Structure 1
Amino acid sequence: MGTTAADYLAALTPGRRPDLPEATAGTLRLDAREDGRTDHWYLTVADQQVEVSRSSEDADLVVRAPRAVFDRLANGGVHVSEALLRNDLTVQGNIRLLMLLRRIFPGPADARHPRALGRAATTGRAGAGEGRP
């Protein structure tokens, strides 16, 4: 199956993450449920950095899901918004912070950035018109 969410979060290295918005800051608590037990991960995001700890403190956003859902997020098997729309996870608090998770967890392996797709489409069109009278 690959990396578990616990392994992925434990391995997050401190330091600047340019993929995170500069002006966004807040705390997120991930509540992973399995077999009647809940593990808590506490993420503090500020200045494009993420600090991870194990805590059940109150947070700006609390995300609850079965452990398997968090594991799929950590492996790029599911996108955060997809899991939310399918009711695979629930959120409570500042939902704007939810999109930080899509930048913290990897996306699907076959996903491409929209800008790259746009550039490829533009380049393809420009090349298709060349050579025509």
Structure 2
Amino acid sequence: MGATAEQYLQQLDAGRRPDLPESTAGTLRLDVRDEGSTDHWYLTISDQQVRVARSTEDADLVVGADRWVFDRMVNGELHPGAAMLRNELTVQGNMRLLMLLRRVFAGPSDARHPRELGQSAMDARASGRTGTDPREELS
């Protein structure tokens, strides 16, 4: 298993995140429930940066779920939208910020950007390779 949500949030770098839209700004509070207690994580997103604090302050979006749900989202095993539709998490506030969690969390360690996969497929066709798997390494 990969990192837990707590481990990931504790080490989340406050540097620039080019994968976040430049024009997006807002605050998210993650209410992580575990065995009768709740941990609160407060994320401030602006200028393609994410700052993390521990706070119960009001936020533009409040997301609540059991610890295992956040752990799976951090590791790219669960999409926030799918979790919401299955009632595995609750949301209150600005819903457009919910999709930012997918970009804030790291995702699977072996994930590749769709453009990279597409480029690999195009390169394979151009070189006359017959393999159908665009993830194959090019020689």
Alpha carbons of structure 1 residues 121 and 87: separation in structure 2 relative to 1, 3 Å: farther
The percent of aligned pairs where both chains have the same amino acid is 67
RMSD, matched Cα: 1.8
The answer for the alignment partner of 1:99 in structure 2 is 99
Structure 1 residues 2-81: aligned runs within 5 Å? 2-81=2-81
Residues 33 and 65 in structure 1, CA contact (< 8 A), matched pair in contact too: yes
Deviation >6 Å, runs of 4+: none
1:115 aligns with 2:115: yes
SS in structure 1 at match of 2:107: coil
Q: Report the TM-score when normalising by structure 2.
A: 0.82
Alpha carbons of structure 1 residues 108 and 87: separation in structure 2 relative to 1, 3 Å: farther
Deviation of the 1:11 alpha carbon: 0.9
Q: How many residues align?
A: 129
Alpha carbons of structure 1 residues 87 and 125: separation in structure 2 relative to 1, 3 Å: farther
Alpha carbons of structure 1 residues 79 and 118: separation in structure 2 relative to 1, 3 Å: same
Higher relative contact order (CA 8 A, sep 6+): 1
Give unmatched runs, 5+ long, in structure 2. Answer: 130-139
Give unmatched runs, 5+ long, in structure 1. Answer: none
Query: Which structure shows the higher helix fraction?
Result: 1
Residues 31 and 40 in structure 1, CA contact (< 8 A), matched pair in contact too: yes
Residues 4 and 74 in structure 1, CA contact (< 8 A), matched pair in contact too: yes
Q: Report the TM-score when normalising by structure 1.
A: 0.85
SS in structure 1 at match of 2:99: helix
State how far apart, in whole Å, the 1-side matches of 2:49 and 2:110 are: 26
